Structures are given as C-alpha cells and as structure tokens.
Structure 1
C-alpha cells in the first residue's frame, strides 16, 4: 500500500462510525423512534411551555402525551445490560465487574462531561446552578430541582438514573445467583418491578392533593419511583435467556400473538388518552403510566419483535437505523441547547412573518434532528471513538 493510500485509509477510519453491536438489529430502529419521540416532546414543551410560541392546544396535548420514548430507552438499557451480564455469567462464571464498569464508563462518561463542562463554561450560571453543578458531575441530577434556573443540564436526569442503575445492577445479579430456581429469580424481578409502582402510589396517597406539575416533579424523575422500566428490561433479558424456545413456540401461533398484541394496544391507548377515565382521575392514571403501563406495553412489543420477523422487523433492522442509533447518545446530549439557541430563534422569526405553525413545528423538528445528528457525529468521532479505543486497551 502506498503512502497516499495509507493516508486515505487512516482518514477514512478516523471519520467512520464505530457502529453499535448488531446482535439485535431491530432494536436500532426502535432506538431511532425513541430519539425522535423524545426530541419532538421537547420541541413542543419548549415552544409552548417555556417560550410562549403559539401552538394548537390539542396538538400540544397530543404531542406531550407521547412521553414514553424515554421509557423505551430505559427498557432497552435494562435488556442490553441484563443480556451482557447473563452472557458473562454463562461464559465466564462471573459478572466480570472490571470489564463491565470500564465499558459503561468509557461509553457514557467522556461525552457527558465534555458537554456539561462546555455548557457550564459558555452559559451564564445562576447561583443555584453553580451550587448544584457538583450534583450533575456526580450523576445525581435526578436528586435535585430540575428547574431551568437550578441546573445546567436538566435533561441529564435520565442519564443519572441509568448510571445509578449501572452501579447497582451487579448487586441484583449477585442476589439472583444465590436463588435456587429460575422461577424464584423471575418472581424477584417482578416483585422489584412492582415496588416502584407501590412507591408512587404511597407517595401519591400520602401527600394529596397534588397539582399536576408538583406530581410530575416529585415522581417522574426520581430514582425510587422510576426504576421499574429498567428492571422490566432485565426481566425481558432473563426470560429470553431462560425460556427463549418455549416463548418462540408459543408466539408462533397467531391466536397467541393476538393475546399479546391486544393488551399492548390497550396500554398504548391509555397512554395516549390518560383522561379516558375522567379528568379527575388523570393523576392516578399517570401513577400507573409512568413505568408500569409502559413496561407491559414494551415487553409485549419486544417479545413479538424478537419472535415474529416480518415486515416490521425487517424495516427496523434497516442499516440506516444502526448508523443513526450510533449517534443517539450525542443527539440526546446536545438537542436541548440547539433547540434553545438555534431552533427557537428560527421559529420566532418564522412566527413573526406569519408562517403557519403547521409548517414551523415539523420544520423545527426536522432542523433540530439534523443539527443534533451533525453535532452527535462530531461527538462520536472526536470523543466517543477515542474513548472506545482506550476502553478496549483497559479491558484487555
């Protein structure tokens, strides 16, 4: 190989993507759907809730009911981490915690700390933001106030929840190993999953009455009331690992697939119409929706996806989704600042020129996705890929 060819090869390698593991290709498509749903939620929330940009009220209500893209991220995280630890136990007889934590830290820490530090440096901070910054550096954002003036990266609450999950999940597997049967392990996971709902119900009843915003701030972001989707992902990984063939045989029958499909569609309907039992019961519906209903829905959909194939599976497995999903972490880190400083001014300019919001909102979403993917690509090439190289060296 000539020097010029070697240089071109090195340059191509530098700019290429370090694609996500492809063991479950259809999950890449689901990740992309989750990314889009989270971004659209924040566009509507920032436009209508913070900036006073006039949107149709029914559209705002419909957009904000699609909150459950974040729960899909949690389910997938639990499933993938559970699968990794189960595979490690089967092949090595140990969780290999050194390798586990090296992989988790190198995947998430560098980009998070770079973006957090950059925002802390370039943004004029309030006294509360300066005081709370240490909490953000410790991945404890979900323990403090998430008001705009109190925290730099309020959207870091979900990243904090996942890091807390990574910290504690080996202890869960340690306990599971010491149980005598798979049935006991499955029951433990179900009991742990249910405890988050119990915690939400206890807090809801004990501290009534609530305003909608107070309930949201008290329960939606906090670790003790929002871990159930992560446990649901582990449960899915466990039953896939232990009973994959029986599940596949069961779901090969159309009637059995319908038995799984119908409840999941009922869950989706409830999530999209939380007022279906009357406006006076919406808060109680939220208590169940914020983790319990989403877990049931996504577990059903994922089981159907894993054991079904067909058009939907093929579509979600398209190579483009793997590439976009690879940039998903960077997209999540930067999409709020880009919305604040680029998309909102653009939307206000169009609004001042009397451009219909029927055009402005989708244009804003598309522009934000494009800009976030571009920034996510730079984060991937300049931060994530070097971190992955260091990870492989440390884990070897």
Structure 2
C-alpha cells in the first residue's frame, strides 16, 4: 500500500501519545491531557493496524482470490519479531535493565499469551500485552477473512464484525459484574481484576481492530460507505477528533470502576479512532495530505520506541535520578533525547536491516512458488 502522510501522522501521534502515559515509571504521576489519556494511543495503533493489515489481506483476496499465507507471515515476522526478540533478550538476561524487577515467565512472551494470563504485580515489559493482541490478530485474521469475505461475500464479514462488537459489549458487562464489581471496595484488588479481565485481554480490545478492518473492507471493495467517506473526509476527521475528546473527558483514567464506561466506552473510542483513520486514509481530506516535519520518522520508528521507552524511563529514574531529575524542562529533554536515541538505535541496527533482508526472502519464496506451479496445457 502506498504510504500516506495522514496515516504516518496518526502513527506518530499514537507513539507520542503513549510514551507520556508511562512516565509514572519515572515518578511523574502528574496530570496533563497526554498523561491521563495516553493509554488511548494504543487504541489508535490498533485501528491503524486493523486498516493496514485488513487492506493487505482484502486486496490479495480481490486480486488473487486467496491469501499467500507464507508470504503474509514472512512480512509480519520480519517486521515484528527481530526487534521484539532483542528487547525481550535484554529483559530476560539482564534483569537490572528492567523498569521493575517482577516479570512474567518467558514462555508467555514467546507464545504471545502475556495478555491472557497477566499478573499485574509482575509488570516488567508488560507493555508487550499490546503486541500479543497484534500477533493474535495476525495469526487469525487472514484465515477468518478468507472464510468470511472470500469470493466477495462482504455482507457476511459485516455481520461477523457487528456480532463480535456486540459480543464484546455483553462479555465486558458480564465480566465487570462478576469479577470487578465484587471487589470494588478493595482498590488494589479491583484494579488488578480490571486489568486482568477488562484491559489486557484480546477479547476486550477487539473494537479498534474491527473498526480498522471494517474500514479496510469498505475501501478495498469500494462500497457506498467508502464513497461517502471520500466525499465527507473532513467531516469524518472532525467527528473523530470530537469523539476522541469526548472519550478523553468521559473515559479518562480508564474509569476502572464504572460499568457504563467499560462496557460502552471501548466501542465509542473505537469509532473515534476509526474515524481518524478514515479521514487520513481517504484521498480528499485535509488530514490525508497533512505533512508534518518528523512525522514520517516517528511513524517508521514507532515500534522500536514503543519497545524500549519504559526501559529507558526505568534506567534514568533508577540509576541517574540525582543527575537528571528536578531540573524542569532540562529533565524532560534528557528523558526525551534518551528515549529517542535508544529507540533510534534499535530501529536502525535491528529493524531496518531485517526489513531490507525481508524482500529477498519474499522474492525467493515467490520464485519457488512459480517453479512448482503447473502451467495449464493447451
């Protein structure tokens, strides 16, 4: 898919939104809109992923009638695994580099099941939970897409998406009533229950991915809905901004002990994120063509920045606090520069080389496929 500056801008916003949220690791529990709403940046990442991966799969179904699963997983593997394994290796073999000492077992990181069996008291590298959601999505979505919309059966896919969203609403309500509400008077226990049942698990975070997938289907199959988005791209973008602001006001701090916010807040936030992606993906809106200096770099390096930023916070706060903290804007600059330096190092030393090696491997696979393809006889 052709790179669009609007989508790069949203990815840059997502990572710059997430990182201040984790500043509590460095002792900064203070306010500010970026601090208490930064967890929503992950939802923006999910909506973007749903749209981009959905577009890739749907375009393959339209052009070839199927999905080359080996090629798909080669692309995803070279993109996500090398940097992840490098950072995971540091966390496992060098415990003093962790932002906190307690860490979940290695097998949960290797199997991408961290978010399913999370222990909120062992949170080193816990931000990998969102990578688990992504990897589970990569694993299952192409198969589901082939079954649901193969042959152009878009309506079946739309029904499945609607059913999953509705099922998520019902499931979150049931989990909140049976597992969070009973311990609501105990702050720590209730917080742990909320994280285990309503924040980390994939079933609770499908709304953004589904929104992105629905948008990708509308775009790739050129539906009337997509035509409407193209005509009203700026209205869609402004709607996304307004809904995001509403969520930041009414869904801030994750509202751990509010049934309505947890049941309906996530779908509303998904609509907001999907609207932003729609405005950026269309060809006619202002957001789609908005070029902000540096946004493309942050978009490209966002994965490495995400993987490493909590480790950097922990090291600066735990080892160098007397030298770097308490200096106002200089403290902020030291943290920011260090996070960027470490993230850039991982991006250029690990991510980029593997992305360059990916294309020759994909080409070898394509040539092998052609070699074993039987040409029809006349």
Instruction: Give 1:28's aligned residue.
Output: 8
After TM superposition, give the deviation of residue 394 of structure 1 in Å. 2.3
Instruction: Quote the residue 1:165 is aligned against.
Output: 137
Out of 258, 264, 271, the residue aligned to residue 248 of structure 2 is: 271
- Structure 2 Cα separation of the partners of residues 29 and 39 of structure 1: 16
TM superposition shift of 1:285? 0.8
Q: 1:41 aligns with which of 21, 32, 45?
A: 21
2:221 corresponding residue in structure 1: 242
In 2: Cα distance, 1:33 partner to 1:228 partner: 20
Cα distance per residue 1:189-222 (max 9 Å; x no partner): 2222332222211111223233451313421001
The 1:347/1:27 distance shift into structure 2, 3 A limit, reads farther
Partner residue of 1:3?
A: none
Q: Offset of 1:173 from its aligned partner?
A: 0.8
Residue 115 (structure 1) aligned with residue 87 (structure 2):
yes
The residue aligned with 1:299 is 274
1:74 and 1:310, CA in 2 relative to 1: closer, same or farther beyond 3 A?
closer
Aligned position for 2:370 = none
CA distance in 1, matches of 2:237, 2:357: 43
Query: TM-score when scaled to structure 2?
Result: 0.81
- Cα offset, 1:104, TM superposition: 0.5
Runs of 5+ in structure 1 lacking a partner? 1-20
Mapping for residues 349-368 of structure 1, pairs under 5 Å: 349=323, 355=327, 359=329, 363-364=331-332, 366-368=333-335
**Correspondence 1:1-396 to 2 at 5 A:** 22-43=2-23, 45-47=24-26, 51=27, 56=30, 59=31, 63-124=35-96, 129=103, 132-147=105-120, 150=122, 152-177=124-149, 181-207=153-179, 208-209=181-182, 210=184, 211=187, 213=191, 214-243=193-222, 247-249=226-228, 252=231, 258=235, 261-262=238-239, 265-274=242-251, 282-289=258-265, 291-307=266-282, 309=284, 311-315=286-290, 317-318=291-292, 320-343=294-317, 349=323, 355=327, 359=329, 363-364=331-332, 366-396=333-363
Deviates more, 1:379-388 or 1:242-251: 242-251
**Aligned residues, how many?**
353
CA gap 1:378/1:141 in 2 versus in 1, 3 angstroms: same
Q: CA deviation at 1:89?
A: 1.4
Q: Distance in 1 between matches of 2:90 and 2:160?
A: 42
Gap runs ≥5 in structure 2: 364-378
Contact 1:193 1:232 (8 Å CA) reproduced: no
Query: What is the alpha-carbon distance in structure 2 between the residues aligned to residue 226 and residue 144 of structure 1?
Result: 15
8 Å contact from structure 1 (residues 29, 322) kept in 2: yes
Say if 2:17 and 2:38, in contact at 8 Å, map to a contact too.
Answer: yes
SS of match in other structure, 1:143: coil
- Per-residue CA distance 1:137-158 (angstroms, 9 max, x = gap): 222211233445x354111111
Shift of 1:178: 5.1
- Aligned match of 1:11: none
CA distance in 2, matches of 1:91, 1:162: 25
CA RMSD of aligned residues (A): 3.2
1:368 to 1:87, Cα distance in 2 relative to 1, 3 A: farther
* TM-score in terms of structure 1 length: 0.78
After TM superposition, give the deviation of residue 245 of structure 1 in Å.
Answer: 6.4
Shift of residue 282, structure 1, vs aligned partner: 3.2
Shift of 1:259: 7.7
